[in-house]
Structures are given as C-alpha cells and as structure tokens.
Chain A
Amino acid sequence: QVTLKESGPALVKPTQTLTLTCSFSGFSLNTIGMRVSWIRQPPGKALEWLARIDWNDDKFYNTSLKTRLTISKDTSKNQVVLTMTNMDPVDTATYYCVRTQGTHSDLWFDPWGQGTLVTVSS
C-alpha cells in the first residue's frame, strides 16, 4: 500500500522560508519511473502544481514560482523535501505531497497525501 504524509510548520511569518517534508512508503524513488510532486490549494481555490522530482533526480518547477522553490529527495529515508522562500500571505494553502505516475507526456497523480495547512501570517 502506497502512503504519503506531509509534515512541517502550520504557521510561518512573511518573508520566512517554508520547509515541508513528505515521508512516503510503499514505493522507492530509486525505482525507474517513480516521481513525487508537491501540489497546493489555497482555501476555497483551485489546485496548483508546484514541483516534481524524478527517480533520476530530474527536477521540474512551476515557472511562475521557480525562483522560490527547491525540491530534493533522500532515498535512504524515503523522503522528499520542498523549500519555498520569501513566504507571503497569498501562499497560505494546504500543501499536498503526491506520487506521480506515468511518462513525461502521460502523467497522473495518485495517491495523494492528506495535506498540511500552512498559514502565512505575522
């Protein structure tokens, strides 16, 4: 059974850096074809894909947020870490860690973690 769980601070101050950790089980990021994405959802708003890391350490970022994001993996711990710099109240959202399956032109997200709500406020 594949599971993913996000962890990190529930509250961050404006201008601070957010660090989120995704701990997963049931698959390995050493396995060819495995990928993990981070996706967020502001309250009452749509989903927004943020970043993805692949088994071969290729990394992809939402172009509008690229300068603020860094994604990395620790395969020995089965963890993926996302950092987002210069946090702003508009970054308040539920952040999801999601296994990403398929090939580059045929990707889908399954399963999803439960999500973690991050509030940006002073």
Chain B
Amino acid sequence: QSVLTQPPSASGTPGQRVTISCSGSSSNIGSNTVSWYQQLPGTAPKIIIYSNNHRPSGVPDRFSGSKSGTSASLAISGLQSEDEADYYCAAWDDSLNRVFGGGTKLTVL
C-alpha cells in the first residue's frame, strides 16, 4: 500500500492544462520535499520535478510542481501527446521509510 495517494487516472486534450494531486501526511509531505517522475511505456522512470518545484535541465517548463501542507501537485500545461505516461510523486516518510505514491496514468485524448 502506497504512503502517498494519487488519483489512478487523469486525462486531457492537447493544449489543455492538467493537474495531478498527491496527498500525504505530516510524516512525509508535511516534513519533506516532493519529487515527481514520468514513466513512459516500457522505460525507466525519469525525474521531472525535485525539491517541490525545481525542474531538472532539459525538462520543459510546461511541467511545474507545488506543495502546500501535506499535499502536492504536478501541473502540465500545453498538454502534448508525448506527455501520455504514468506519473509518480515521491516524498520520504520518516516513520515508515516508504516513498512513492500509487501512480497516475495520464491519457491525452
């Protein structure tokens, strides 16, 4: 069972803005930073957001992250077909030593 809660699915049309939520508690998101990972079909995950809202070099600025209290969200603006993937949030949990959310499958309609 995942320590962070994500919606199992999300969808949008090209050009739209989509957000994916990640809900936790005081022992994970409430006290540690959040990172986000994109997993394209058949590939290893790739980091797209770290330290709540920082984008690694090479990640388009269409991707943005935010955190408030014990929740976080990933926003994708100007949705493109190549954004169709699974997205995972992660935050260290001090009491359980667990990390990941259950993942959200994003479909571009």
Contacts and interface: CB of A to CB of B under 8 A. Distances in A.
Interface stretch (B13-21, B68-76, B77-85, B99-107): B99-107
Interface of B: 2, 31-33, 35, 37, 44-47, 50-51, 56, 88, 90, 92, 96-103
Contact of B98 (A62, A102, A106, A115): A62
B98 A46 contact: no
B100 A47 contact: yes
6 contacts: A62-B96, A62-B98, A105-B31, A105-B33, A107-B32, A107-B35
A116 to B, nearest CB: 11
Q: DSSP class of A's interface residues: helix, strand, loop or mixed?
A: strand
Interface residues of A, number: 26
Interface in A53-78: 60-64, 66
